Amino acid sequence: MSKPVMIAAALLAAATCLPLVAGHAAAGTASGDLVVYTSTPAKAMADLVAAFNTAEPDVAVSVFRSGTTEVMAKLAAEFAAGAPEPDVLLIADSVTMAGLKADGRLAAWPDAPVDGLAPDSHDPDNTWFGTKIIATGIVWNTAAGVPAPGGWQDLAGPAATGRVVMPSPLYSGAATIHVGTLSADEALGWSYFEALKANGASAVQGNGAVLDAVATGRAAYGVIVDFMAFNAAAKGSPVAFVYPADGVTAVTEPVAVLKTARNPEAAWAFVGWLLSDAGQRFTVAQGYMPLRADAGSPPGRPAVDAITIRTVSPEQLARTSDKTRRRFAALFGG
Amino acid sequence: MAAGGLLLRLAGPAGDPRAARAGLLPVVAALLLAGLPLALLAIEAIATTSSATGIDQARVADAALNTIVTAIISTTIALTLGGGLALLVALTDMPGRRALGGLALLPMLIPSQIAALAWGRLFDPAGPVAGWLGLTSFGGHPLEGAAGVWLVMGLEHSPIGFLAVIGAATRIPAEPAEAARIAGAGPTLALAVAARPLIRPALAAAAALGLISAAGNFGVPALLGIPGAYPVMATLIYQQMSGFGPAGLGDVARLAALLGLGTLILLHLSGRAAGRAARVADSGRIIGRLPLRRGRRLLAVLVWVPMLAISLGPLLALIAASLVPAPGVPLTATTASLDGFRMMVDPRHGALGAMATSAVLASLAAMASVLIAVPIGLFAARGGRAARLGAGAFDLALAMPGTVFAIAVILMLLPPLPGLGVSLYGTPFILLAAYLGRFPALVLAPVMAAAGRLDPAPEQAARLAGAGVARRILAGTWPALAGPAAGGALLVLLTAFNELTLSALLWSRGAETIGVAIYARQAEGDTAAAAALALASLVASLALALTGLRLLARLPGLNAAFGDQR
């Protein structure tokens, strides 16, 4: 589907389905400025805001965007300065959200519209809510003449020597979860990453940079979030994506509202729209796997339950995330 | 108000209290905007103890060594290339010398991150250039890593070598060469004998400037060094700050102070070199050009072809990259897409907003720099001690690597402002504060040079006639300073419009600068958008520079001031 068609379809979906927002805000009633800090790529975020504005035309959304790690660094500085800017956070992973919740930064929405969503996709106290499923797998360049990868160990194998790029946890939230999960694995562990380093793998900044490196022939293989690889392949990039058979890592790109939000009404309207049928359908139109099964899934994807997702307890990941970043940075230099 | 009284006495020339008062405000501004953040950085670096997010010493040592190596190699490249071109332009009858001089200065107009982006695209492993050169694909990028950082930075800084050498090479006296000829030397040797005493100190001064610029360069190592696992201090500071936030600010401050200390040492050396360069006396007669004779055509081809290639190649690669529909798609007439440019003009994507932010911030910085730097420059040139202190603070802030100054400004403005209770961190004002600390020095230098040569008579006449300080400046000195000040302001405008080093650490929602917009699009993999934005900002800068220069040509005093700045 071309981009204009995709947007048109999404706008239509957004316009015809009444968002299932209850409690804090009814559709089309919120207004004013809304500040969103996000790790969603700039273009995708702009499209998302446009779709949201078809349901809530009077909310003026402004966005700060960077990798999750930098967004959090920015926010931490704002907390330190006593002036947190954002109303809404839409970042890669729930581990970071759990940390913010533990610090008492997140507001709760007791009657959030979570019916039909998997219980573990959102916080039991309704402070943060997953919005989609983003799995990290392997992308490879189909013109490179290299064997299609099957599992994570293939990246440490001879066909991949000097040909692998990965996103850095110093930038990406999905990468922090990915490295945190695999390094906690008994079979893989940190020795897996040391093997990658020994095999000449290098770290770039975000997932977008991984895609660029693999598609433009800098590397043959890349560790990357699924939607980015699928979207690029659909637009003609010479890349293919595989969900490794030994299990992918995944994040849910949760959304949350800060207790210090200046426009809570618009903030909850934004959250409600993301979780609504319209919001979820728009998520699919953008090439993401939705959390609501009835929203369909992007063309050419396996069913969510056909993918093995590795999990490590959020508490453990939260405890180790700074250490994970330090150790990764020491190993790969950034 | 004892301190105020002391400053008052120090501010202006002795026996002129009104001038002293007039000089006080800008001096206070200089100390607050440029001096205070650097002082806080020094204190933080000394006082802090290592935090939980501390950096491995090995990483710091690695980055420090890489910084030194990069500085030395890129400066060698810059001086060889720029200096060589300057010798050709100044001393030979090469065809197209004026145009060649223009090409040699071109990198000054192209911000580092755009140059790095363009060079990276030119050497894409799957692209045509890598194919012609027989570079293999899928095993890394030829320019990502040490060699690419050195080369691109060397090219970026080559105008430093060009300007230093051309300044010296156009003043080579004829007598020593004639003496050498009489003693039997050939024309080339005679020229070398005459040129050496001038060129060597000029090169030494340029070397120090090149090393300082290399230590402070962020755009090149950010785009070519980070993906190539070649960290330097500037990128290490940035990564540490964006990866760990203010929790690690103490450690980052120490890193910044370390880099700042290295710069201070270089500054000291550069001051000595510049002093030696200035001591070489001007002579009456200038040496004639060396005729190239038979070698003229061959040399022209040997110089012009690579110069055109390194000037136009990256530009064409940038244009091509802006038209690619998705990464890795071969560019043909049918695949070419204008999506990158569409994104740019679509208000929802904020690219035009970034352009506007940079334009507004740069204009404000240019205007404020003139307001602050002109009085400081005027009083400093007359020996006002506080004014010289203020000028020194501005000079130091400019010489410090941008990353270091950004950390210093964060240290100053992260805590809520006393009295107001709000922090400027996370607002566009922190960027403006950083610009006002760092860029007035660009106005200061030409203004001080012009003020030093100013004829005091008209102002004294105005003073005898009872005119106030403001009126005396307006009537007596402003006409002579307007040109230099406006030239400096144009430099501030162009530098601030294109800068990335400060805003990479200080930008906030609603204040994305054009530099950040390009860098962020590139970092998230939207290369077409990054390239389109880079092209737009290049066009804007070029238009700004040409319009500015045209307007400046109408002002008096400009050539006098900038003639000495070479």
C-alpha A207/C-alpha A167 separation (Å) is: 5
What is the predicted pLDDT for the residue at A20? 40
What is the predicted pLDDT for the residue at A265? 95
What is the predicted pLDDT for the residue at B466? 72
Cβ–Cβ below 8 Å for B520 and A170: no
Among B58, B231, B327, select the one facing A212 at the smallest CB separation. Answer: B327
- How do residues A19-53 score in pLDDT, each as one tens digit? 444 344 455 678 999 999 999 988 899 999 999 99
Cβ–Cβ below 8 Å for B137 and A144: yes
Which of B29-38, B130-139, B270-279, B487-496 is predicted least confidently? Answer: B270-279
Mapped to the 3 state alphabet, what secondary structure does B443-494 carry? HHHHHHHHHHCCCCHHHHHHHHCCCCHHHHHHHHHHHHHHHHHHHHHHHHHH
Among A62, A205, A237, select the one facing B226 at the smallest CB separation. Answer: A205
Is the per-residue pLDDT at A153 higher than 50?
A: yes
Which of B96-100, B294-298, B443-447 is predicted least confidently? Answer: B294-298
| Contact between B42 and B402 (Cβ < 8 Å) | no
User: What is the rounded average pLDDT of the residues B188-203?
Assistant: 84
Tell me the H-state helices in A185-249: 189-198, 207-215, 226-234
Query: Which residues in chain A are contacts of B58 at CB distance < 8 A?
Result: 330
Query: Which residues in chain A are contacts of B338 at CB distance < 8 A?
Result: none
C-alpha A249/C-alpha B329 separation (Å) is: 29
Query: Which residues in chain A are contacts of B139 at CB distance < 8 A?
Result: 162-163
- Residue B1: which pLDDT band, with cuts at 50, 70 and 90? very low
The mean pLDDT of chain A is 88
- How do residues B145-163 score in pLDDT, each as one tens digit? 999 999 999 999 999 999 9
Is the per-residue pLDDT at B388 higher than 50?
A: yes
Structure-block tokens of residue A239: 């890349």
Query: For residue A321, which of A105, A99, A106 has the smallest C-alpha distance?
Result: A99
| Residue of A164, A218, A258, A328 best to disrupt the B interface, most CBs of B under 10 A | A218
Report the relative pairing of strands A202-204 and A164-167 from DSSP bridges: parallel
Comparing A310 with B565, the larger pLDDT belongs to A310
Nearest-Cα residue of chain B relative to residue A69: B243
What is the predicted pLDDT for the residue at B415? 85
What percent of chain B clears pLDDT 90, i.e. is strictly above it? 38
Cβ–Cβ below 8 Å for A213 and B126: no
Q: Which residues are A225's β-sheet partners?
A: A136
Report the relative pairing of strands A221-225 and A202-204 from DSSP bridges: unpaired
Is the per-residue pLDDT at B12 higher than 70?
A: no
C-alpha A207/C-alpha B523 separation (Å) is: 9
Whether residue B456 lies within 8 A of chain A, CB to CB, comes out as: no
Structure-block tokens of residue B41: 């950085």
Q: Which residues are B92's β-sheet partners?
A: B290
What is the predicted pLDDT for the residue at B464? 75
Which of A245-259, B252-266, B280-294, B479-493 is predicted least confidently? Answer: B280-294
C-alpha B533/C-alpha A11 separation (Å) is: 27
Is the per-residue pLDDT at B280 higher than 70?
A: no
- Residue B277: which pLDDT band, with cuts at 50, 70 and 90? low
Q: What's the first-to-final CA gap in chain B, in angstroms? A: 43
Among B231, B349, B508, select the one facing A334 at the smallest CB separation. Answer: B231
| Contact between B145 and B228 (Cβ < 8 Å) | yes
Q: How many CB atoms lie within 10 A of CB A303?
A: 9
Q: Record the pTM.
A: 0.84
- Residue A17: which pLDDT band, with cuts at 50, 70 and 90? very low
**What is the helix (H) or strand (E) element at residue A250, kind and residue range?**
strand A249-251
- Residue B473: which pLDDT band, with cuts at 50, 70 and 90? low
Nearest-Cα residue of chain B relative to residue A331: B59
Query: Which residues in chain B are contacts of A204 at CB distance < 8 A?
Result: 226-227
User: What is the rounded average pLDDT of the residues A185-214?
Assistant: 93
C-alpha A139/C-alpha A135 separation (Å) is: 12
Q: Which amino acid is at B552?
A: L
Query: Which residues in chain A are contacts of B142 at CB distance < 8 A?
Result: none
- Residue B3: which pLDDT band, with cuts at 50, 70 and 90? very low
User: What is the rounded average pLDDT of the residues B506-524?
Assistant: 86
Q: How many CB atoms lie within 10 A of CB A33?
A: 12
Gap from A115 CA to chain B (nearest CA, Å): 32
C-alpha A17/C-alpha A50 separation (Å) is: 16
What's the complex ipTM?
A: 0.81
- Residue A1: which pLDDT band, with cuts at 50, 70 and 90? very low
C-alpha B408/C-alpha B34 separation (Å) is: 9
Those residues whose C-beta lies under 8 Å from the C-beta of residue B227, and which sit 6 or more positions away, are A165, A202, A204, A205, A209, A213, B141, B144
Query: Which residues in chain B are contacts of A37 at CB distance < 8 A?
Result: 509
Is the per-residue pLDDT at B455 higher than 90?
A: no
- How do residues B288-329 score in pLDDT, each as one tens digit? 777 777 788 888 899 999 999 999 999 999 999 999 998 888
Query: Which residues in chain B are contacts of A77 at CB distance < 8 A?
Result: 245-246, 410, 414, 425-426
Is the per-residue pLDDT at A208 higher than 60?
A: yes
User: Which B positions 65-104 lie with beta carbon below 8 A of chain A?
Assistant: none
User: What is the rounded average pLDDT of the residues A72-87?
Assistant: 87
C-alpha B423/C-alpha A308 separation (Å) is: 46
Whether residue B531 lies within 8 A of chain A, CB to CB, comes out as: no
Structure-block tokens of residue A259: 């207790």
Find tokens 């223009």 and name the residue: B102
Is the per-residue pLDDT at B357 higher than 70?
A: yes
Mapped to the 3 state alphabet, what secondary structure does B536-550 carry? HHHHHHHHHHHHHHH
User: What is the rounded average pLDDT of the residues A59-75?
Assistant: 90
| Residue of B121, B124, B138 best to disrupt the A interface, most CBs of A under 10 A | B138
The mean pLDDT of chain B is 84
Query: Which residues in chain B are contacts of A211 at CB distance < 8 A?
Result: 327, 525
Report the relative pairing of strands A88-90 and A249-251 from DSSP bridges: unpaired
Nearest-Cα residue of chain B relative to residue A38: B509
Gap from B468 CA to chain A (nearest CA, Å): 44
Is the per-residue pLDDT at A135 higher than 60?
A: yes
Whether residue B521 lies within 8 A of chain A, CB to CB, comes out as: yes
What is the predicted pLDDT for the residue at A115? 86
Is the per-residue pLDDT at A172 higher than 50?
A: yes
- Residue B172: which pLDDT band, with cuts at 50, 70 and 90? confident
Q: How many CB atoms lie within 10 A of CB B514?
A: 31
